[in-house]
Structure 1
Amino acid sequence: MKNTPPDNLNASKAPEPVGLYPHARRVGNLLFLSGVGPRERGVKQIPGVTLDEEGNITSYDIEAQCHSVFKNVRYILEEAGSKWENLVDVTVFLTNMKADFQTYNRLYAEYFKDCQPCRTTVEVNALPTPIAIELKCIATI
């Protein structure tokens, strides 16, 4: 087996990373996605998020954020040569499990009804940008 170096990949449709990291890294036939949130490429407004003048969240729509996150994951997978059905593991970070889990879980079931990767869902105090959900994924290529 040839030992090839990992490839860093950045998707042209996915939101710009907020730090020095790629959207994904391919190692052999595995694709590791960096954390993916609902932001959109080239746009300051975050889907489903209303901010005050200081940048604090005043309200958010978890359903809109879920749809946007899943769309961004799909963009990255497809540009990297993978696909939604190749997801094998998904870690979900929610900032408000009590308020958002039921809606997120319903939408997750719709998106993943034909593809059921392993899943872990955890609540975190905050994410690097003013968002309520982020996904960390592993897929095959």
Structure 2
Amino acid sequence: MKKIYQTVNAPAPVGPYNQAVSVHGILYVSGQIAIDPKTGEFVTDNIQSETNQVMKNIQAILLEAGATFENVVKASIFLANMDDFADVNKVYASYFNEITAPARECVEVSKLPKNVSVEISVIAHL
């Protein structure tokens, strides 16, 4: 059975999608960008703070579903500029145990929503 997850601790969807959906024990978290859910403002001071806000948004959604980053089995990182990879990777890595880190891909894309620099989505088991 499909279950929808929503939390006020992450940005509200701005289109026909949900923050996360689970089915058969798998949680699919929609791509998150660096919007501070408390203010609705974009966090774009630098790529590290932007990535940290993205990860905090993902964390809030995981917690709403009763999960943590330890439950994440797959992550997808989308960058507007691959030159930001090292800085994004450093922040991203701080949220995972290296030994149990999920599978992942990181790709450069031509443009992201609202012209942000990074968007990340994850898949987790519940």
State if a TM-score over 0.5 links the two structures: yes
Aligned match of 1:34: 30
Letter in 1 for 2:101: Q
1:103 to 64, 75, 87: 87
Task: Select which of 54, 60, 67 maps to 1:69.
Answer: 54
Give runs of aligned pairs for residues 10-25 of structure 1, distance below 5 A.
Answer: 10-25=6-21
Q: Which runs of 5+ in 1 are unaligned?
A: 49-59
Offset, 1:42: 4.9
> Which structure features the higher share of helix residues?
2
Structure of larger gyration radius:
1
Which runs of 5 or more residues in structure 2 are unaligned? none
The alignment of Structure 1 onto Structure 2 pairs a total of residues equal to: 125
% identical equivalent positions: 35
| Aligned partner letter, 1:112 | F
Distance 1:42 1:23 in 2: 16
User: 1:9·1:80 contact (CA, 8 Å) conserved in 2?
Assistant: yes
Normalised to the residue count of structure 1, the TM-score between the two structures is 0.82
Q: TM-score, normalised by structure 2?
A: 0.92
For 1:6 and 1:107, the matched residues in 2 are separated by: 32
Residue deviations 1:65-102, cap 9 Å, x none?
Answer: 1110110110000001111110000000000112x111
Compared with structure 1, are the counterparts of its residues 45 and 120 closer, same or farther at alpha carbon in structure 2 (3 Å cutoff)?
same
For the aligned residue pairs, the C-alpha RMSD in angstroms reads 1.4
| Residue 120 of structure 2 corresponds to residue 124 of structure 1 | no
User: Is residue 46 of structure 1 aligned with residue 31 of structure 2?
Assistant: no
